[in-house]
Structures are given as structure tokens and as C-alpha cells.
Chains A and B, each alone.
Chain A
Amino acid sequence: MKYKVLWAITLNTFRETLRDKLLYSLVGFAVLVIAASLLAGSVSLGQDARVIQDFSLTAMLVFLLIITYFIGTQLVFKEVERKTIYLVLSKPVSRETFYLGKFFGLCLTILVAGLIMAAMFLIVLYAKTHSVPVAAYFAVGAIILEAWLLTAVSLLFSSFTSPLSSAIYTFGVTLIGHGSATVWLLSQKASPVMRGILEGVYYLFPNLEKFNLRNDVVFNLSPDGTQVGLILLYFVGYTAFLLILGVAVFRKDEF
């Protein structure tokens, strides 16, 4: 794999997503929602900091995921529909490089969008409380990691289905991923066969609750080194699994 080519595709994907008006409207709306948390906080009976933190972090997650669903699922599809993929693949660019370039490009977009939202969140929080808990930085980082992982999911789906189906499937995976605790609880109460199935679902689907550090921010509970290490390990492991699977599917695609 040529890293120069990979970087070129990454940068190109990033530029391509920046041209998408949807991205601007989503980031703009997220920033507005974060700013509006100030208003919600003002009617919260002295719980301003709490409301700003919870509302802003949830808004960040939701909008980054929407970016993933609507932009991530279009990336490969657009190239195929416009037939520009032929131009790219006719050059000395492997399918793996193309696929990974798309992934890293969108990750870069998500990172930039996430940092803009995070900056707004931290400004609003600091303006109101004159302090920012350390846990907030960890929560923001975990949200971006989650969005990156779901980008890999959406790319995987978009390599063999339409953008709409891909967005719906990715949304489904998000719901299952965040309901993992419920799935685990159900498995512990189920019959042996059902237990096996549910435990399979629990381990097979991404456990997005591992990235949920949002609930601890209001209590300024930062994760310890082990927790951060395990989150990163889980992210790297699961994302690599998705990317390898996605590349395998993409290699067999016929356009």
C-alpha cells in the first residue's frame, strides 16, 4: 500500500466532504444546540453546568452520528454512481487504498467537526462556570472514537447496499450498540440457547457503551489509565475488524 496515495485519497475525501452543504448545516445546528443549552440551563434550578454538559455532549454525539450516517454512507456510492471510481481505480490505486482513504478522510472530517463542536461546548461551559472538568475532554474524545467506529460500520454497509439502507443499518447497529447493557441483562435471564444467542449478539455487535463517558462528566469522574487503555484497544480491534471485512467485500464488488 502506498501511503502517499492513501494520504492523497484521505485529503481528497476530506475536501469532498467539506464541499457538502449538509456538513455545514449539521455543524452549524450542533453549535446552535450547544449554545441553546445555556437557555435550558437557566431554567434548571441552579443546575446550569450539569444541563450544559449533558445537552452539549449528547448533541455532539447525535450530530456526529448524523454526519456519519448521511455523509459516510454516500462516499463510496457517489463515486460508483458518478463512475469516478473507474478513473481512480484505473490508476495505480488499489481498492484497499481507496477504501481506507475514504475511511480516514471521513474520520478527518468528523475530527474537525467534533473539534468545532467541542470548542463551542467548552467555551459555553467555561463562560458559565469558569471551569472545565477534565472528564469533559475524555468524554469528547470517546464521542469522536465512537463516531469513527460507526464510520467504519457505515462504510462496510455502503460497500454492498444503497446509502439509505446503509444509513438505516448503521442506525440499527448504533441502537444495539448502546443497548448492549440491556442485551447482556436479557442474556443472563434467558434459557441456555437464548443465552448463547444473546451473548453472541453482545460480543458481535460493537459495544458502544464502552465509549459512553458522558454520564460521568457532571460528577467529574475521569476514567483511569486502564479504562482508557481498554477503550482504545477495543476501538482499534473492532475498527480494524470492520475495515478488513469492508475491504474484503469491496474487493469483490463489481461496478
Chain B
Amino acid sequence: MTYQRFTLLAVFVFLGLSFVAQINYDSWRRYTPPKLIGIDYNVYIEPQPLSPSLAKAVSFGSTEFLADYYWLTLIQYYGGGTPNGKYRKLAELFNVVTDLSPRFVQAYQTGLIILPGEGFPDEAIALGEKGKKSLPDSWEMPYYTGLVYHIYKKDFVSAAKEFQIAATKKDAPPITQYFAGIYYKEADQRQLAYQIFKTVHETTKDDFVRERSGKQLLHLEMTFFLEDAVAKYRQQFGRYPASPQDLVTKKIIKEVPVSPLGVGFAIDTQTGAVSEAKR
């Protein structure tokens, strides 16, 4: 074997060896239980972002570039899955990306959608608050923050407030204020909900939103009407009716109104509160 051939062979052999070693190493660090490799958590596969202030300092002016780098890291991290069950660094990554690029709308939106589902609802809300400060004209920031309050916190009043803020922004979809009304209704703040639906109904240029808000108004008016009837019933009989039909039977009202939303009404026999019947 000539020297040249031996060199060529050696190059390929050693390159192949490094390749095999790398594959095995990656597989070991990714799938071996953390305790066996002597750490409490498999930190090797997690990105280790710098703190936002340090990242800004070492970017030497290229903050958007560094934000992009962390954005790509974040996508790879989230898209690659985690054998540890939780994306511990997810919120940290969204934070550093949006600190480096405070006007990066897509990063806030993605964070507000992904973070709560991965167990970071509070971090998502904090991200939304940061987004509202950095992008004061964006309707998306309060809109998505409102969704987090609704879906993950069941805090309908906060959700409604966020949607009301979103509705004041330019380019906000016409349905935004309608949603604010829905959330106030969910939170049992019916008078507030009624006022919002009324404003929406009178001002919107969107046919669908006008039709829906009209139905909501009618539904709430029926609810108020039934509440008055329930109060009269109690005055007369000293107790609350068991159902809306009782109001008809005792001739308090002529008939039970039919909600345009296609839902029935129920009455709480303990408090007399009128609500939508469970379907």
C-alpha cells in the first residue's frame, strides 16, 4: 500500500470513527436517565440562554441578530421534543428573545399561544404585559393575553379587560369587543356585558358581529325579564320557582321567552339566579 493510499484510508477511518462516536455521544446524553450521567437534570439537551442583560451587553449592538439566534434555538428546542417531559427553558427563551427584540410581534404571539399549554401561564401573562408596553398599538398583545386569562386562568374579568383594551386598538377585528362582552357575561357581570354588546351593536360595521351582538342583547334582556319575574314570584310565594315554566304556571309571565342563542334558561332554587340551562 502506498503512502498516499494509506493516508486516504486513514482519513476516512478516523472521520468514520469520529462520526460513530458523535452519534453515540448524542444518543447517550439525550436518552440516558439524568442520574446516570451525574446531574439532576439532562441539561445537555437544553438551550442555556444568557440573561437578557448579559445577552444585550455581549451582542455589541447586534441585538436583532442575537434575538434571531435565540428564536431559531427556541424553534429547534420546541420542535425537537423533550425526553424530560417539560420544556424548562421555554419561558426563559421567549423572555430573552423579546428583551433583545422588543418589537418582535411573532415572538410574543407564539409565546402567548405555546407557553400556557406547556405549564407557563404566568410567564405567558408576563410576556403579554411586556408586549403591551413594547407594542402599544398592537391589538394582538392584549387579545392573546386575554385568551390566556380565559383558557388557563378561568379569570373572565381579566380576560374581558384585555379584550376591551384590544378593541380600542387600530386594526383590531370587530369581534374583539364582542368577546369582551362575552367574558363579562361569563363572569356574571351582565350589566357591563349588556352595555358592551349595546355599543358593539350600535357601532360595528361588521354584519356578523352586529347580528351576534343583537342576539346577545336580546338574550340578556330576556334574562333581566326573567330575573324580575323571579323576584315577583318570591314576593307572592315566599320561595323561588324551580324552573321558568313555574313562572308561566303561576301566571307571572305569559310564556317562557326563547333565547335567540338557542339556549334554555334555568333558575337556581336557592338564590333565584337566572342562568343558561346546561345543554
Contacts and interface: CB of A to CB of B under 8 A. Distances in A.
Interface of A: 40, 43-47, 50-51, 54-55, 57-58, 61, 174-175, 178-179, 182, 208-209, 212, 214-215, 217-219
A44 B64 CA distance: 14
A55 B67 CA distance: 11
Contacts of A58: 62, 65
B75 A45 contact: yes
Interface residues of B, number: 18
B60 interface: yes
Interface string B94-123: 000000010110100010000000000000
7 contacts: A43-B72, A44-B71, A54-B65, A54-B67, A55-B65, A179-B60, A215-B61
Given A45-B106, A46-B106, A51-B68, A178 B75 contact: no
Given A44-B71, A45-B106, A214-B65, 17 more contacts: A44-B68, A44-B72, A47-B106, A50-B64, A50-B104, A51-B72, A54-B62, A54-B64, A54-B65, A57-B65, A174-B60, A178-B61, A209-B61, A214-B61, A215-B62, A217-B64, A218-B64
B57 interface: yes
Nearest to A51: B68
Nearest to A56: B65
B64 A214 contact: yes
Nearest to A47: B106
A162 B67 CA distance: 37
Q: Give the one of B60, B63, B75, B106 with max A CB within 10 A.
A: B60
A178 B63 contact: no
B65 A47 contact: no
Contact of B75 (A43, A61, A214, A218): A43
A19 to B, nearest CB: 32
Interface string B63-105: 1110110011001100000000000000000000000010110
Given A43-B75, A44-B72, A182 B62 contact: no
B64 A215 contact: yes
Given A44-B75, A45-B75, A54 B68 contact: yes
A187 B156 CA distance: 47
Nearest to A221: B103
A92 B143 CA distance: 74
A40 B62 CA distance: 17
Nearest 3 CB-CB pairings of A with B: A178-B60, A58-B65, A212-B61
A41 to B, nearest CB: 9
B57 A179 contact: yes
Contacts of B104: 50
A43 B65 contact: no
A215 B110 CA distance: 21
Contacts of B106: 45-47
A186 to B, nearest CB: 10
